[in-house]
Chain A
Amino acid sequence: MTTSTDRPGDTAPPPEEDTAWERWDQPSGRWMLPGNCPDTRERTLVLEAAARLLFPTVLVFSVFLLFEGHYGPGGGFSGGLVAGLAFVLRHIAGGDDDPGSTLRIRPPVVVGTGLTIAVLTGLAPLLWGGAVLSSAKWRISFGDAGYIDVVTSLLLDVGVYLLIIGVVLDLLRSLGSGIARDAREAGEAAPRGSGGGDR
């Protein structure tokens, strides 16, 4: 057993003779798993399992909020916050060293992408001779099956959504991992049950 397979939740490397079809339902990569956890006593398996279940669900819900925003409560801001909170949950369960997904995107990039999308959405109408930030609406009809309204201002909302997620991730990076790492590098032991000094 290598060290990487010591990590809880990680799948053991399949034996060589395994065929592909036997492994189809096994997770192919690590997702949302804590990295090294030096002190196993601090782990709460229930929370980890719950986070693992909730994370994708909450993300889907956040996307729902994003699209729903035009018709009911929700929108890019709320959706982004919900998605951000999903990452917060993951951070709390996974600890400081949660390596994140295999796709490493740095938070400032997410923030910048969001703002870029929002600004470009605002400027795009200029290309068609419209005023800045004006929006258009198309109705795509599916005959009897109904129709979909596509509103360009949704793109602005997507920008907001991404930016908010980025801001929360940045917060986690700086205030969450950053402070803890500083403390470790300064030689301080993390306080037991690192949820504030009150307990």
Chain B
Amino acid sequence: MLAVVAAHLVLALCLPALARYNRRLAFGAGAALLAATLVWAMAQAPAALGAGVTDVVEWAPELGLRLSLRMDALALAMIVLVSGVGALIMVYAAWYFGPRSKDAARSAALLVTFAGMMLGLVLADDLLTLYVFWELTSLTSFLLVGQGGQYRENRRAAVQALLVTVFGGLAMLLGIVLLGGIAGTYSIPELTAAASAGTLAPDQPVALAISLVLILMGALTKSAQLPFHPWLPYAMAAPTPISAYLHAASMVKAGVVLVARLGPAFSVYTVWWVPVVVLGLATMLLGGWRALRQTDLKRLLAFGTVSQLGFLMVLFGAGSRVAALAGIAMLLAHGLFKAPLFMVVGAIDKACGTRDLRELCGLGRRRRGLAVLATLAGLSMAGLPPLLGFVGKEAAYEAFVLEGGTRGWVVAVGLLAGSLLTVAYTARFLWGAFSTKGSQPTGGDPVPLGLSGPAWLCALTGLAAGFAAPLVQDVAGSYARSLPPLGDAYATQYELALWHGLGLPLGFSALALVGGLLLHRYGAPLTSRARIPGVSAQRGYEAVVTGLERFAIGLTGRLQIGSLPVYLGCILATLIVLPGPVLLMTGAMPEHQAPYDSIMQVPVGLMVVIAAVALTRARRRFTAVLLVGAVGYGIGGLFVIDGGPDLALAQFLVETLTLVAFVFVLRRLPAHFDEPDTERRVRAPKAGLAAVGGVFVAGTAVVLSGARLQPPSTTDAFVANAPEAGATNLISAILVDFRALDTIGEITILLICAAGTASLVLATRYDKKKGGAVVSSGSGSPKHEQEVLG
């Protein structure tokens, strides 16, 4: 399985080059891979629906970190969306991006990467593996939504999506680590088993509750639940194929998948199901309500997605068998109707040049095929027979009617209200896109088969899946097997089907349909006026972000005051205050401290001391630098005397180079230290601090080096293994063999330092070179500051 995920990455790396050669071929290759993934998954379906197919690669076993993938019913359902719908969207994208589109190459590669990450996410069987893929999808979607970064709208949408989802992701990481700590495992099956056996941290209920809430933060932000929902409609700034993929098949489903994945384990805990169900219901109602006010077809669908995600959250959060059956059916149904609806909007956008339902007119007459297609998908969204959406919705009503009690009835009525709104915005969408409203028919160029074909295939699958409800039941049943059937005996036998006979659920469906149509027909004054003043999640987000930026600017202004002595003073003071008392209290001078080991140490040591003392009296910068050099060479000499030629060599060379670098810089500095003598009151504390710091460091060196009586145990191993590493020089063997990772890290730091120095010094020069005119980088200018502060 890991190989399949990796194949996505490998292909993504090749796609930009392929897209430069032929754009459609690139998308085609992507579609082929996704389709192959779907076939591969279907081939393993029997095993997956049974015990599940697993694949484990140890990553860092010492940390309990491993890449652990497992294909089960939930993963299978999601692969249908991620790979199946994804393949269709890739085909659609091949026709959507124009022949000269500069975005095509990047988009193709990113879409395939995204599909791979999403695949990893739905297959993940280990919380840490899941987290890795989780954040990778956040990053990829940031790049997808941001596009080339040329438009402010795209940038803002991408940043908002990233900030919100990564904020949730980090909270989730905390929760995962906490949960892993108290449960002793990151493996999801082990956690589920422990939770259902009641042995999951029975003595630490508070820690468990905190970890669950933190993990939920990830799910709620990623799936755009109240109050984190605004990022999703804003992400509509991305091109339509990308929106379709993010919304229908993948990214925003991640939160739902997480709740579904962990639901069997945790839905018995109040702290898990209450936020999921309450926020899910609220999101469903709010999303539906706001969709009724939209005039942009794409944003209407986006709020519809928000609403549907709330619905899915409720179903997976409830933790009952029938609700889970309904959840899987709705998960599939949502992907199968939302993707074609988005594709239709993209086609309308291409054909008419607008997506505004106030401007579209008479499209239904002239593009009958498109209208039929949209209606087919829309009926599934509204939950009408014989489509999969109906099957799912029936099961959803049934689940909570069966459950009964306060929770059951409250949720059932809530779902009814949400479905009513769903019907209303579906009607608004179809009416807005295809009805004849004005006198001036708009656009309506023929839609190429490449744009309509994938949508047809997707919508027809939704229709077929309605009739093939027993097949869906197989998948859903396998997922819901472990969940308790809440309600009477019928709850254990309930199966997904098109017809359950007359009953309360059917009545609910009829009520939602009639109510929704009435709301659409007569409710316009109501929906356009009713809004809650003063409360806006988007404004809340903006307030938080600008508040953080203000705080950061204020804090930086206080801390970074631009005085080197103050910075050094702070560092030294911290060094003295924190470990200093510990050293005084517990440090013991070594017993046999000889004044010197070799007589040669005395003159060299004296030289270092004299140079250091003279350094404090130096008035000229050049003298000071030379004295620093003398101290350095003296220390190098001490290394030679102590028998460390390697260290001494490095010390001498570095000292020489430092001297040269100093001299370079000194050319631009005044010859003398221009410290006016009047500042004596500052000088005394400075000297005091420096002296105490020096004494402290020297004392620490003596105490700590005296504390070690035996050579460290690792040394023996190093010495013993040095010949095996082919080295007679132990230092070299350590540097390039035993501790080679450290060496690579260190040289990377050197690279960063060199790049940093060059940027600082050369920055001004590059500004000047832009065609003779001065081009400033922009940061720090009043305009930029204003933009940041909003």
Contact = CB atoms under 8 A, between A and B. Distances in A.
Contacts, number: 180
Contacts of B728: 70-72
8 contacts: A85-B656, A85-B657, A157-B736, A175-B664, A175-B665, A196-B621, A196-B625, A198-B620
Interface stretch (A21-29, A36-44, A108-116): A108-116
A104 to B, nearest CB: 17
A183 B668 contact: yes
A167 B660 CA distance: 14
Contacts of A69: 729, 732, 736
Nearest to B645: A73
Interface in B640-668: 645-646, 648-650, 653-654, 656-657, 660-661, 663-668
A185 B726 contact: no
B468 to A, nearest CB: 45
Interface string A133-167: 10101000000000001010110110110011011
Contacts of B625: 196
A122 B729 contact: no
Top 4 nearest A-B pairs (CB, nearest first) are: A197-B671, A151-B726, A198-B622, A81-B653
Interface string A167-199: 110110111101111110100001100111110
A170 B758 CA distance: 7
Nearest to A84: B657
B743 interface: yes
A75 B736 contact: yes
Interface in A40-85: 69-78, 81-82, 84-85
B751 A182 contact: no
Interface in B738-767: 740-741, 743-744, 747-748, 750-751, 753-755, 757-758, 760-762, 764-765
B789 interface: no
Given A170-B758, A175-B664, A196-B671, 14 more contacts: A69-B736, A71-B728, A71-B732, A73-B729, A74-B649, A115-B744, A133-B741, A168-B657, A170-B757, A179-B667, A185-B768, A195-B667, A196-B666, A197-B621
Contacts of B435: none
B538 interface: no
A62 to B, nearest CB: 10
B657 A81 contact: yes
Most buried by A among B668, B736, B740: B736
B727 interface: yes
A119 interface: yes
Given A70-B732, A78-B650, A151-B726, A175 B761 contact: yes
B356 interface: no
B661 A171 contact: yes
B737 interface: yes
A88 interface: yes
Interface hub of B664, B666, B668, B760 (most chain A Cβ within 10 A) = B664
Contacts of B45: none
Given A77-B735, A81-B654, A164-B750, A194 B729 contact: no
Interface string B614-656: 0000001111010000000000000000000110111001101
B669 interface: yes
Nearest to B753: A167
Q: What's the interface size class on A, roughly? A: 35 or more
B296 to A, nearest CB: 46
B688 interface: no
Chain B: interface size category: 35 or more
Interface string B697-737: 00000000000000000000000000011111101110111
Contact of A163 (B646, B740, B747, B762): B747
A32 interface: no
Nearest to A88: B660
Nearest to B660: A88
Interface in B354-381: none
B757 A175 contact: yes
B2 to A, nearest CB: 15
Contacts of A133: 737, 740-741, 744
A118 interface: yes
B782 interface: no
Contact of B735 (A75, A171, A196, A197): A75
B671 A198 contact: yes
Contacts of B757: 170-171, 174-175
Interface string B677-704: 0000000000000000000000000000
B557 interface: no
B603 interface: no
Contact of B653 (A78, A149, A175, A194): A78
Nearest to A179: B668
Nearest to B722: A70
B657 A122 contact: no
Given A81-B653, A181-B765, A197-B622, A70 B727 contact: yes
Contacts of B198: none
Given A191-B667, A196-B621, A135 B744 contact: no
B754 A122 contact: no
A131 to B, nearest CB: 11
A186 B744 CA distance: 40
Counting chain B CB atoms within 10 Å of each CB, which of A71, A112, A183 scores highest?
Answer: A71
B670 interface: yes
Contacts of B727: 70-71, 151
A166 to B, nearest CB: 7
A95 B646 CA distance: 32
A197 B666 contact: yes
Contacts of A173: 758, 762
Contact of B667 (A154, A156, A168, A196): A196
Contacts of A179: 664-665, 667-668, 761
Nearest to A150: B726
Contact of A167 (B664, B665, B737, B751): B751
A168 B661 CA distance: 9
Nearest to B747: A163
